[in-house]
Structure 1
Amino acid sequence: MVNTLSGGEQQRVSLARAILKPGHLVLADEPTGALDPQHAEVAFQEIKRLQTEYGKTIIMVTHNIKEARQADRVIELKNQMTVN
């Protein structure tokens, strides 16, 4: 049952579902936010694999600077305005 899973477990299940679903677009809101650093890195590498191996477009919201720096394009918001 979903309600017995921790937040991190729920995020990993959601990532697996995104990989398996057909379609070209994945919207990810803080996909690694509830994960410990080791699991977060594994999940982020899987998100990158979605893009390269499956040709999916990933739109991800994150506060993780390390993850953002690995993106092809970053749109930064400050005070409800785009910075770049």
Structure 2
Amino acid sequence: MTRVVAVEPEPNLRAHARTEARRAPAPVVIEPARAERLPFPDAAVLCLTLRSIADPGTAVPELRRGLRPGGQRRFFEHVPIWPRLMSGCRNGHGT
């Protein structure tokens, strides 16, 4: 891996991610974008949580488009307390 490009639409979480990214072993760029419209042509690995995506029906095909042949798709879900702590989390999604 030579670099990581991440997306985070929520400004406070993006600022936190940029701070934490400074400790990563590879350069990390965090874009103010959403999974429904990825700002890059392809990726080797995509990791995300669907609970934070407003429109999973649009995002999942976009994720397939953004994944290069042979790449991996990984989803990480989190505990229900997050809606009270961070904005953007939608626990009502059937993920």
TM-score, length of structure 2 as denominator length: 0.34
More strand by share: 2
TM-score, length of structure 1 as denominator length: 0.38
